[in-house]
Each structure stands twice: as C-alpha cells, then as structure tokens.
A and B are shown apart, each in its own frame.
Chain A
C-alpha cells in the first residue's frame, strides 16, 4: 500500500511540470495568504517579543494596588524605602538591597517622518543597571546621578529626530544633553533613561511610579508578596516582571493578531477555492492516467492519497514562499508604533503556523477532488477523452 502511494505520488509529481501554471494557482494563493498573515502579524510578534524580553522572571515589579500601568501607580518615598527592605529581595556585595525606585515621564519626540509622538522617559536610580544587566551603554557614557542629562536607546536614536549624542532635549526645566546610547534588546531601546531624582524634580512629581527588585531566588516572590501585603503601611502588590509585561502587552498585541487572522482568514478562504479549482482540474486532466493506474491494479486509496499529497506539497511550497518574502521584507525592521519602537518579527513559530494553515487549506481543498479521483468508474474514465 505504502509502495503504491509512493509510486502514484511520484508519477504525479513527475508530470506536475505539464500542469505548471495551473499548479501555481495554489502556490500563489498560499504565498499571498501566508505572506500577508505573517507580515500583518510581525508587528504584534515584535511587540510581544519586545515586552517579553523586557520581563526577566528573576525580577519583580512593585506597584500600587489596582494599577494596571506604571504611570497609574504611585509610590511615596517612605513606601519605597519600606518596600526595599522587605524580605525576598537580593542584596548586592555591599549588602544593599537590589531595589530600584523608578519614575516614568512622557517625553515628546518627533519621528523621522516628521510626525509627533511621545516616548517614555524612565528615571532610574544608582542600582538600576545591576537589576537590569541587559542595559549596556554602546556609545558615549552613562548619565551621572544628580545631573540633568540622559541616555537614549538605540531604536529611539534611529527612529526619532535629534537624538544623537550631544543633542539637547527640552525638559520642563530646560535642555538636557544626551550623553550616551544603550542597547537592551527589548522595548526599552525605544525609550530614554535619566536619573530618577532629577527627572522627578524636573517634572514636579513627588512620587515614584514603581519599584523594580531583583528576587533572591525564583521562588522568593511569594515571600516578598506576603511581606508587602501584610504591611498595613503599604497598599502595593508585587508581580513577576515578565507576567506584568505579558498582561500589559497581551491586550493590544492580541487585538493586532486578531486583525491579522481575520485578513489572513479571508485570503485563506479565497485560496481554498482556488485550490479546489486546481485540484479538480488536475484530477480531470489526469482522468485517463488515473483510470489506467486503477486498471493496472493500483487501489483507490493510494490514488486519493496521491492527490492529497500533491495539494499539500503545492500549498506548503506556497506557504514557505510567502513566509520567505515576508521575512526578507520585514523581519528585524524597526517600526515606530504608538509611543514605542518595535522590531517587526517573523518567528519560526509564525512560519510554522503558516505551514499549518497551508496544510489545512490543502486538506480541505484536496479532499473532494481526491475522492472524486478515487471513485470515478475505471471503464468510463478510460473511454473519456
């Protein structure tokens, strides 16, 4: 049986060349479907990647109860000090807790295309780099604490105007020079860092927004959580940093993914009808050949399977072609969107999904023609012209 399937399929593929343009309908249809699906999805994938990378599970973020974003959370200096001495937080070599009091401010920027936008300016403290070791200064130097100066992420530098080292940025209390640029591999690359206390003074804010801590161990989150919630002087919650970002990014990226699926879905249905059309045509042009095979003693099942295999092969080829085009065009490209800069991403998982879509289309599109091919009475098919 397997041998029969193999022989019949080999025969199919050998004469594919005669049906080249017809078969290309399937390839083009699936290439369009998967290419569009992956391209549309590249923004939300980039968004997820940017946020998920930013959330190290060895870190926890402490925000006020009920806050769903950092700007909505308020932590006074007194609260921040209490939080930093809570159990479960790792200590550095000097015995100081690895806790960083952070503040977020909006910073107006101009995108390269001239449109205006905002980015996040993060005020961070002296221990920030120990807690976020992924931040690396790649040119210039780090800002000095207490100084009115800032460092910018390399994506912010690439996508916004006037973000070179030495440029001045208008802050509420005058111009701050940019003294360095950093990489971090996540959304922070599209943002700006400065000294927390100085940012606070400049923006007339009295409270921090969050406290970021490095956990003693992966499991010490519950220790920290219990200590914080049982302290009546604090109305705060701790959450693993990656969970925080996951929740934060899920809503919007989910929405973008939904749009990509709707558009991809419509194209897929269009491609499905194309696939049905092509496979019916293929079966009917090969009617005689199939009948001959059957007369020679090949079973109906191998014939049906060979038709399915052909549909799958063409569909998957189309999907890979579409994925390759989308990858060449978009993967890794920086895309400013809203108040962030994302790296468009076409992931292996996404390509896998595209191939699965292609297989589903091929199965649905090949099923009826393959049944028809197998069922056709041999004698009648042999007589047909």
Chain B
C-alpha cells in the first residue's frame, strides 16, 4: 500500500499521456461493454426461452383457420394451444411501426411465464379494445394505464370500412428479454370480429405447449405431419430454437465478440507502448530502486500496477458509459427496430475487469522482461 504514491507519481509524470491513455481505454471498454452486454442479452434470451413452447406458423404465409387450434391440441404430446392475430400498423406517422399481438384467452396457459398476473390476463379477455403493454412500449409512446392508443393498419381493413384501431391501455407490465423493444397484447376476439366476414376466423400463428420439453421437437414434427396435406400446411419451431442468436443467418455473438476483441487488441498495443516508453524513460530510477533494496518482484509489481491502473479504471469507466448508453437506447431507437438492448450484468463487468487485467499484464510483459535482465551498474551509469 505504501507504494501507491510511487505508482501514482509514475503515472502522473506525464499527465497528458496518462489522460489520453485512459480515454483510449475508456472508449475501447465502452465498445466492449456494449458488445459483451449485447451478448449477455442474447444469452438471457436463449436461457429464458422455453424448449416446450412451439411456434406453429403457416408454411406458406397464409393465415390459419382458428379451428386448427382445436385439432392441434388433440395431437398427442400437446398440452395447450393459443392463437394470435398480428395487428401490424403505425401510430400517428407511417414511420412509427407498431405491432400488437391479439391473443385468445387460451394463450395465458401457453405463456405461463409471461409477466402478467391472472387478473391482467382476465383484463385482456374481458375488454375488447383493451391492451396490456410492457414498460418499454409505454415509455416509447408516452402511455399510462388508461391512455388511449390509436393505430392505423392499412393492410388490415375493418368491416366498418376504416382501418383505424382505437385501443386503450389496461395495464403496464414488465418487459421480457426476448422482446427487447417491448410488446403489446390485445383481445383476439375483437380483432377477429372487427374484420370483414371473409377475413374472420383466422389466426396468424399458434403457440403450443408440449407436455415434455424433450419431446417438443418431435411434437412439432407431428403437428406438421398432421396438416401436411391440408390447404394450409404448417411449419413449427420451438421457442428455444427460434431465439438462437444466430437465427438471422449471421452469428451475431461471433460478430460482437470479434468487435470487442479488436478493440482490446488496439488498447493492448497502445498500453504496451505507453508503459514501455515510461519504463524506458525511468530506467535509471528502477536501477536506483533496486540498489536501495527493492526486490525484483517488488519492482516488477510496480510496473504491472502502473499499467493496470489506467486499464482497470478505464474498463470500469468504459463499461459505465456503455451502461448509461444502454439505458438511453430504448428512447433513441423505435421499438421493432430490431436491435436488442445490451444488458449490463455483473458478468459483463467481470469480463471487462478480467480483460483489463490481461491487457495490463500483456502490455507490461516486455518492459518487465527488460527490467529483470537489467544490469544495475550499466543502467545507473547511463545517467
């Protein structure tokens, strides 16, 4: 501890250099925080996704007769089935895309893990024009319980000839990792009966719950086989498989990791140079320290710590900046924009800290070697 002033004075020997180095490190770790935080979000999505929930989608994009739901639930291995109608539209301006899942009353049994109380599910079932929304959507559209929310859906005409849907907010609930931009749920029956007769009785997709998570993929195949020769063939996927981060065809986690590593390499190079330079400048000082009795490990520790201070401090600051940015993100990007919000879990901080220490050790390795091999007499004489 008593050597702390020594390290501090070494760092502050060139304050401009110290500050610039720190700022570089902060930037790299801001990026690190955002990318690894994004991976934390992907992990959370994959972990909270359920292996026993099966998405039942039309194979060729056509809406599905709701009667299919009853046939699906009769298939062995299926415990529950719920239907969802997709109300796609916009709020006020065309760029404000809005998506409301219009759900039937059975969906609560398929989504028992969703953050809605039984009373809130009841609200959806009993209020035709009511919606339950998540916090992120509430913030985004400035809504509270009781607010009215009008949405225009030109592609979903209503029987009355208009395409504007007047909804009101019943409750605001917690968000889900997989729905990084928030979600909205309304009443399927209202959605269905408000449409022209020709469009009624159709769901956009079903969600089924399998009795046994290990059998879910098999059950999914059974569902597909059951309707293989119907007018609307199906495709199924378990939620677990659907929410893999590589689902878009691009391995997003590999991309974010790559970016984080490149940022770290840049910092490693920079920090190594700064510390090498600092040691070079003070070669004689180190020789003096050794002469007055500092042990080899003590001198080396001084160098490593000198490298570690900006790295660790910068890492913490950088991840802090990333966390602040992540907090602002839902306000900066409209929902449905497709980018998940990074989550700053303790693991992200731990990884940042670990990386910072590795960078510090890596960047002080060469100077440390030089100091170890140093011949005190020559070093002192060079003065």
Residues of A within 8 A of B (CB): 21-22, 24-25, 28-29, 32-33, 35-36, 40, 43, 66, 71-72, 105-108, 111, 113, 115-117, 159, 170, 172, 203-204, 255, 259, 263, 266-267, 269-271, 273-274, 276-278, 280-281, 335-338
Contacts and interface: CB of A to CB of B under 8 A. Distances in A.
B24 A108 contact: no
B89 to A, nearest CB: 12
Given A270-B266, A337-B248, 20 more contacts: A22-B277, A24-B269, A25-B273, A32-B266, A40-B255, A107-B60, A115-B247, A115-B249, A255-B337, A259-B339, A263-B259, A266-B27, A270-B27, A271-B24, A271-B266, A273-B20, A273-B24, A273-B27, A274-B20, A277-B24
Interface string B227-255: 00001110101000100101111100001
Contacts of B263: 32, 266-267, 270
Contact of A335 (B17, B249, B265): B249
A276 B266 contact: no
Interface in B112-152: none
Interface string B312-341: 000000000000000000000000011100
- Chain A CB count within 10 A is highest, among B27, B60, B241, B263, for B60
Contacts of B233: 170, 172
Contacts of B24: 270-271, 273-274, 277
Contact of B60 (A35, A40, A203): A203
20 contacts: A24-B269, A25-B269, A28-B270, A29-B266, A71-B61, A107-B60, A115-B249, A170-B233, A172-B232, A255-B337, A255-B339, A266-B34, A269-B27, A270-B24, A271-B266, A273-B27, A274-B24, A280-B16, A337-B248, A338-B248
A105 B248 contact: no
Contacts of B339: 255, 259
A267 B27 contact: yes
B27 A115 contact: no
Contacts of A280: 16-17, 20
A29 B232 CA distance: 55
For chain B, the bracket of interface size reads: 35 or more
Contacts of B246: 113, 115
B41 to A, nearest CB: 15
A170 B227 CA distance: 13
A72 B27 contact: no
A273 B232 CA distance: 60
B28 interface: yes
Contacts of A335: 249-250
B196 interface: no
A25 B270 contact: yes
A263 B338 contact: no
B21 interface: yes
Contacts of B244: 115
A172 B28 contact: no
Interface string B17-31: 100110110011011
B155 interface: yes
Contacts of B277: 22, 281
Contact of A204 (B30, B62, B241, B262): B62
Contacts of B28: 267, 270
B249 A111 contact: yes
B59 interface: yes
Interface string B35-71: 0000000000000000000000001111000000000
Contacts of A36: 259, 262
B20 A277 contact: yes
A21 B273 contact: yes
A106 B263 CA distance: 40
Contact of B249 (A33, A106, A269, A337): A337
Given A115-B247, A273-B27, A277-B274, A32 B21 contact: no
A71 B62 CA distance: 11
- Chain B CB count within 10 A is highest, among A32, A115, A267, A277, for A277
A106 B60 CA distance: 5
B375 to A, nearest CB: 22
B267 interface: yes
- Chain B CB count within 10 A is highest, among A172, A269, A274, A281, for A274
Nearest to B244: A115
B276 interface: yes
A108 B55 CA distance: 14
A330 B31 CA distance: 22
A271 B21 CA distance: 10
A22 B233 CA distance: 64
B62 A117 contact: no
Nearest 4 A/B pairs, CB to CB:
A270-B27, A336-B249, A273-B24, A106-B61
- Chain B CB count within 10 A is highest, among A71, A113, A269, for A269
Contacts of A116: 235, 237, 241
A33 B270 CA distance: 14
Contact of B276 (A21, A33, A338): A21
A337 B34 CA distance: 22
A124 B63 CA distance: 23
Contacts of A21: 273, 276
Contact of A255 (B21, B60, B270, B338): B338
- Chain A CB count within 10 A is highest, among B27, B34, B232, B255, for B27
- Chain A CB count within 10 A is highest, among B24, B155, B235, for B24
